[in-house]
Every structure is written in C-alpha cells, then in structure tokens.
Structure 1
Amino acid sequence: MQQPRWVDAAGVRHAVSPDRARRLIRRELADGFDPATDPPRLAATIGEGDGSGQLLVMPSATRTGAGVKVLSVAPGNPERGLDRIQAVYVLLDPDTLAPSVLVDGTAITSLRTPAVSAVAMDALAPDEVGSVVVVGSGPQALGHAEALLAIRQPTSVTVVGRRADAARATAQRISGLASSHRMATRGLTVDDPAFETAVRDAQVVVTATSAATPVIDDDWVADGACVVAIGSHEPHRRELGSGLLGRSLVVVEDLQTAHREAGDVILAAAQGPLAWDDVHTLAEVVLGSVTRATDRPNVFKSVGMAWQDLVIAEHVRS
C-alpha cells in the first residue's frame, strides 16, 4: 500500500489562503451541503479537574470525499509555548477509503475556523467597518483578524487579553497584516476601562477565548454590530451572556450541533431570554433567507464542525 503523503503547516497555507478558505466554505453551503448530515463529534476527557484536556475525533463525508480529524485540547499548552489544540487530519481516498494524505490538523483548524466566521461576518457585519475588537490573543485571534481584513477595511483593531504583553504582541502582528490601508491597533487587558468603550464603538467583535463565563457585558454591543463567538464547544461554557443573545439575531452552524455543544446558546435558551425557534443557521444566511439585523446585534456562535475541516483538507490535497 502506498504511504500517505504528509502536508505540514506551511504546505496548508501555501495551498489555501485565508480568503480562499472562506470562499470554499461558503460555496459548500451555497451548493446545498447540509451540515446536519455531519456525525456528532466524539470526545473523551483526559485528566481531572481544571487542568483536564480533551481528545476529540471528528469524521465527515461530503459528495466528493471523506476524512477524519483527531485532535487534543490541552489547556496548559500555551504556558509551554505550544498551541492549545494539537491535531492531525487523515484524508481518505474517495474510492478505496485508504488514508491518502496526512495533514497538519492544527493548521487546518487555524485556517477553517476563521474562514467559517468570515462567511458569517461578510453577511452579518455592516458593509463599512471602522472599529473591531478581538477578545483573546492566541492563534485564533490573529486568524480572525486576517480573515476579516480580506473582506473589510477597518480603521482600528483592539486586542483584549488577560496579559497586556500578549495582547500588545498580537495587536502588533495584526498591524502587519494591513498592507492595503492604514489601520491603528492596540492591546488592552480585560480590566482596562477602555475595553467597554471599544466594544460599544465596534462594528465587529470577535471572542476567541477559553473563558467559561461571559467576557463582555450584555448591553455593550451596539445594534447592527456583528459578534462572533468561537471559544468553546461545550454546553456549560460560554463567552456571551443570555441578555445579549436574547436581544440579537442569533446564527449557528447547525441546530442539532448547537443543541449539543453551543453553550452560549444552550444557556441563553435555558435561562429564558432566547427561544430555539428564533435561532437560525449559517446556511440560511448564505442562501439569503435570513439577512442581517440593523435594529439589534447579530451574533454568530460557532463550535466548529468536521465538514469544514474536510472542505479545506480536500483542497490542500489538490
């Protein structure tokens, strides 16, 4: 049997740019793929207590291919200088289902998560975006800024983190991405009073944290603004409060998946401000049956799904 080819992180980035990843994800939904056909994510807890990690298995099949991502989530990795998420993607031959390509799964995740968010932001954010706030200073914070810069030209980006040095470093890296226009960046800590003001003034807010409780207050987000929450996939964790979701247009990747994993939505529905009947899907947005609200915030809650990895991995192979 022929040995699978290996594609490293550099190969992933060379094959698929952030904006091409967005277009691929959008095209899959526009062509009629139903995310509800994705198998549920399999998860196992590793270790005990607050430092416990997870082992996840994410299989998927589309009309053109099949594959599986095996990944771990280790909360202590950033302190070791490692990514929180470690992963490998196994792309299968569509005919024999034999492993044909092994791909750096961390790179796939870092690319596809912002791409999915960018599909939502392109539809749910104003055409003119001046101010952006990114809560979190890790790889996904940088990736989401890069994805947003491909579809909008903000004049300022504020990065907010628990550590001032990490927030400033990420803000500086984001500044280097804006080669086509002038853009101011800054890094703040979560206890800085300027944090609230920045969110209130923002047209786009991204929360990319490991928090278990809301990182912004319910009344900070302006009507018409777009909030993207990507930090968790567990039913008891959230980055956004019930009050914010209750007054927003809420969009998820898939309703069944959201019922299992989208803690922000699950908790808001359980506490009363949000009704599941008022939650919409990203496919509805892409197909035009749901449009952005101007009289209330627009919230996209993403948990990440296996089909998204497969879409990117197939084009890494090609």
Structure 2
Amino acid sequence: MSATRIPWIDAASLRQALPWPHVVDTLESAIRDGASRRDLPPRTGVPVTAGELLLMPAEVGVDVGVKVVAVHDGSAGPAVPRIQGVHVAFDGVTLAPTAVLEARTLTLLRTAGLSALAVRHLAPGPARSLALFGTGPQSVAHALAIDSVRPLEHVWVIGRRPESVETVVEQLGDAGIAAVSGTPADIASADIVACCTTAADPLFDSRALRPQATVVAVGSHSPTRREVDAALVRRATVIVESRPSALTEAGDIVIAIDDGVPAGTAIDGDLGDLVRGDVTIHTDRPRLFKSVGEAWADVVVASAAVREVLASTAVV
C-alpha cells in the first residue's frame, strides 16, 4: 500500500460537499442505473458490551466501500451519540483505500436523502406540512431533506421530552422552517409524516391520516419493531428500499404480514419501480415508504462526497 496519507472527511466537509438537492439527485441517478437492486451481503451485527457493531460492505459500479458503525445502548449517558463510526471508500479497480468518512453524518445524509427522494415521487406537489416523530439528528435531517423537495410551511415536532422537542423546533427555525411542538393527533392535518424513532410499537392510529398523506418510516431495521400499524400497510401504496431487506428486516412490513396482510400485496414496489414510474400511486389512499438502510446507498453518497471533497481544498 502506498504511504500516501488517506484523506479524512469529517462531518462539516460532508455537509459542505453534499447539499440536500445534490444528495437526492445523486441517489435518484444511482437508482435509475440499478444500484438499489444489486445483490448485497446482509448487514452483519456483532453484539458488544455497550451495544452493537454493524458492518455494511457494498460495491456500486466502480465504487467500493464498507461502513463500520457502533450503535450505543445509552449506558454511558445521553451525551454519548447513539451512532458513531467510519466509512472506508476504496478504488474499485485497485481496491486501494481512497478516503475515510465520518459515518454518522453519512448515515444521516443517505437515510434522509432516500426519504426525500421517495417524498419527491409520492407526495402531491401541494404537500407543505410535516408531522415529524422523533427528536434525534435523523429527525432534523429529515425535515431539512424533505424541505428541499417539498418546501415546508409548517412542521409539528412530536417527541416524548418537551426539552428535546423545543431543541428541534429551534434548530428548524434557524434553518428557516416554521416548526412547533405537536402531538400524534396532528397527523390528521399533515401532508407528510416522518417517523424517525426507536419505537417498537406504532406511533399513531393510521386511520387518522389524510387520504393522500405520505408516510416515511426509517427508525428500525429490526423485524420485531415497527413505527406504523398493519392497517396502514394494508391500505397504503407501499414502497420499500428493496423487497429482500423489507421482508427480512422491516418490522413495519414483517409484522403486518404476520397480522394478516397478504405477503403478495404488502409491497407495491421498490425505489427502482418508483423512480422509473413503474408503480401506480393511488390517489385515494395514503403512501408509505419504508427503509431499513442499505450499504449501496452509503457507497453512492460516500463516493459523491469523496469526488467533491478531493476536487476541492476541504480535505483535512
């Protein structure tokens, strides 16, 4: 291996290199090229004393990468981030490492970017209001990403701790997005609902949703946890990141099938179907996008960041 120093791309450099429209457009282009339908090894989880280590490798075109993430169990206190880690990017030809990226921000960008892409295709053009469940970094990222495809006029922030809700409201306000503290009942007025929590059980009764509401659920990659109820899966137009991962890792889908939703009709299409226009979006029912986080999207976003950063002077 060359002794050349491998660049480190930190959180600030990632955000500077990849504004939300760039993230969403990059993901859409990759999906149109078939990136989301590549055969990938399953996410590897290794239990450790303080939580879990996740290993996520993938190859997309000429780009190769692996993300190693530590998910903390909270035992060290609230000051410790729940997710920390690195993504190592490799040259697809020589397999030489080209950069190491801060994985927490990369995960925020790819997850919220995929949700915003789904909203771009699922939510009607006039959609302007968001009910946001969760008060962590992923919640803030989702509001910002969704705002880049459907400019938001009103956001309800829904969480268990009033002080955390107020922090998110202030962060969104600083970004120019009008937000207030909300309750689950506010889904009845929302055009878009984003679920970014660690909940194990449904966050709301989906019968209260507006007929054309778009729901995105990203909080879990466990088949035993869910943020939305089976009734929503039964009646919504359901789009998933990919069918294999949804049927094994997405509790929102797996539990709904266990509760009686026919497996053959639980999913209407994947992201590839959606961006190519190969799935019918029913105008008289809600739309649901469920993702669990896949390594191909990490590689796509990381590779775009590496190209942008290495072409500039932002490498530290």
RMSD between superposed Cα atoms in Å: 1.6
Distance 1:239 1:314 in 2: 31
> Partner of 2:229 in structure 1?
241
SS in 1 for 2:188: helix
Give how far 1:224 is off: 1.1
Distance 1:201 1:123 in 2: 20
Q: Does 1:199 pair with 2:187?
A: yes
CA deviations 1:43-81 (Å, max 9, x no partner) are 12224xxxx622100000011210100001113179432
Q: 1:187 aligns with which of 149, 166, 181?
A: 181
Q: How does 1:36-75 map to 2 (within 5 A)?
A: 36-47=38-49, 53-75=51-73
What amino acid maps onto 2:56 in structure 1? M
Give how far 1:121 is off: 0.5
**Which runs of 5 or more structure 1 residues have no equivalent in the other structure?**
189-193
Distance 1:58 1:255 in 2: 18
SS in 2 for 1:219: helix
- 1:242/1:274 contact within 8 Å kept: no
Give how far 1:36 is off: 4.0
Distance 2:172 2:56 in 1: 30
What amino acid maps onto 1:255 in structure 2? R
- TM-score, normalisation: structure 1: 0.91
- 2:166/2:181 contact within 8 Å kept: yes
SS in 2 for 1:295: coil
Q: Does 1:316 pair with 2:314?
A: no
Q: Percent identity?
A: 35
**Mean Cα displacement is larger for which, 286-295 or 62-71?**
286-295
Q: 2:277 aligns with which of 280, 288, 294?
A: 288
What amino acid maps onto 1:307 in structure 2? W
Q: Does 1:231 pair with 2:219?
A: yes
Q: 1:6 aligns with which of 8, 11, 34?
A: 8
- 1:123/1:291 contact within 8 Å kept: no
CA deviations 1:255-276 (Å, max 9, x no partner) are 1111110010000011113534
Q: How does 1:143-162 map to 2 (within 5 A)?
A: 143-162=141-160
> Partner of 1:191 in structure 2?
none
What amino acid maps onto 1:125 in structure 2? A
Runs of 4+ aligned structure 1 residues displaced above 4 Å come to: none
How many residues are matched? Answer: 304
What amino acid maps onto 1:123 in structure 2? H
Q: 1:128 aligns with which of 126, 129, 134?
A: 126
- 1:229/1:302 contact within 8 Å kept: yes
Distance 1:239 1:206 in 2: 10
Q: How does 1:80-119 map to 2 (within 5 A)?
A: 80-119=78-117
Distance 2:226 2:167 in 1: 25
CA deviations 1:25-46 (Å, max 9, x no partner) are 0110112334342221111222
- 2:62/2:91 contact within 8 Å kept: no
Distance 2:75 2:34 in 1: 38
- 2:158/2:165 contact within 8 Å kept: yes
